[in-house]
Amino acid sequence: MADRLPDGRTRLKDPDRPARTGAPVVRVLLCVAFLSGSVLDAAGQAPRCGPPASAVSKSGAVTQLRFANGKRVTLTDEPDGDGQTSYEYRGYDEASGLHWVRLILWGGPSSWVEAYGGCTGTKLVLDDIPVVSPDGSLLVTIGRGVPPRPLVNRIHVLARGPSGEYRMEWDFELSLWARHEGPLTWGPVNPRWVTATSLTFDRVDAQGRLVGAAVATRDDRGWHFAVVK
């Protein structure tokens, strides 16, 4: 007996030979994918790593984080001296695959956030806990700069790359944008994702009173900021 191949050729069929199944091929493909070191999910992104059991522990002044690749990070509070610091673990975000840790200097108000990738423990230093886009591909933070200003002056947008790590996509200094208008009397707060390429903010004065809104949008040329009257 013979099988007809797609190109018209024939192949002898051995009745005593067991039928070939697709299982070995699947196993080979899986091995190749893992050995390549770059496995993407159905959306074309690097897969998120959830925190393993007991990924975070706190004992006295010491906070320890353990990541999916076995790496550990130890954060130790320094309550005395000129460099007084304390660490507050603020949780794990599924969409971005990041752990949030707030670092507080001198008991406040100065602080920033260290974000650690759940897979590798790679660290990002951010102005604040970010607002994550619905698909997890973008982060936005607002900050008051260094030294801290009374009003929010800085907006950062970070984008996730194919490796799963985030990189700065937009570094926006409000005081530079508005320098022709004189000293700013308001700052943008409460960033919210409208779409994957647009954000909206509330504008508040130094007393925290709402004075309007602002938007940021991305097109082929990059990000743009505008005031909504």
Instruction: Give residue 6's identity as a one-letter amino acid code.
Output: P
What is the model's pLDDT at position 148? 62
Q: Cα separation of 49 and 42, whole Å?
A: 15
In a domain, 122, yes or no: yes
What is the model's pLDDT at position 52? 58
The band of 153, judged by pLDDT with boundaries at 50, 70 and 90, is: confident
pLDDT, mean of residues 5-22: 48
In a domain, 72, yes or no: yes
Residue 29 has pLDDT above 80, yes or no: no
The band of 8, judged by pLDDT with boundaries at 50, 70 and 90, is: low
What is the model's pLDDT at position 48? 57
Question: What pLDDT digit, counting tens, does each position of 120-131 carry?
Answer: 889 999 999 999
CB within 8 Å of 10: residues ≥ 6 apart: 2, 3, 4
| Bigger pLDDT: 157 vs 9 | 157
The band of 18, judged by pLDDT with boundaries at 50, 70 and 90, is: very low
In a domain, 115, yes or no: yes
- State percent of the chain over pLDDT 90: 40
In a domain, 12, yes or no: no
Distance of CA 139 to the CA centre of its chain: 5
Question: What pLDDT digit, counting tens, does each position of 202-225 carry?
Answer: 999 989 999 999 999 999 999 999
Across 18-27, 29-38, 116-125, 142-151, least confident range: 29-38
In a domain, 70, yes or no: yes
Residue 79: give the domain boundaries.
46-126
Helix (H, G, I), strand (E, B) or coil at 190: strand
What is the model's pLDDT at position 41? 38
What is the model's pLDDT at position 178? 81
Q: Domain count of the chain?
A: 1
Q: Cα separation of 126 and 103, whole Å?
A: 10
- How many residues would you count in the chain? 229
Q: Cα separation of 76 and 111, whole Å?
A: 16
What is the model's pLDDT at position 219? 96
The band of 23, judged by pLDDT with boundaries at 50, 70 and 90, is: very low
The band of 188, judged by pLDDT with boundaries at 50, 70 and 90, is: very high
Q: What is the 3-state secondary structure (H, E, C) of 93-148?
A: ECCCCEEEEEEEECCCCCEEEEEEECCCCCEEEECCCCEECCCCCEEEEEECCCCC
> DSSP class of residue 78?
B
The enclosing H or E element of 175 equals helix 174-177
Helix (H, G, I), strand (E, B) or coil at 149: coil
Q: For residue 109, is the peptide bond before it cis, meaning its omega torsion is within 30 degrees of 0?
A: yes
In a domain, 50, yes or no: yes
Cα end-to-end span (Å), the chain = 81
Residue 200 CB: number of other CB atoms within 10 A?
16
The enclosing H or E element of 36 equals helix 23-36
106's tokens: 């001198």
What is the model's pLDDT at position 49? 64
In a domain, 140, yes or no: no
What is the model's pLDDT at position 118? 87
In a domain, 146, yes or no: no
Q: Do the Cβ atoms of 87 and 77 come closer than 8 Å?
A: yes
Question: What pLDDT digit, counting tens, does each position of 90-140 carry?
Answer: 988 988 989 999 988 876 667 789 999 988 889 999 999 999 998 899 999
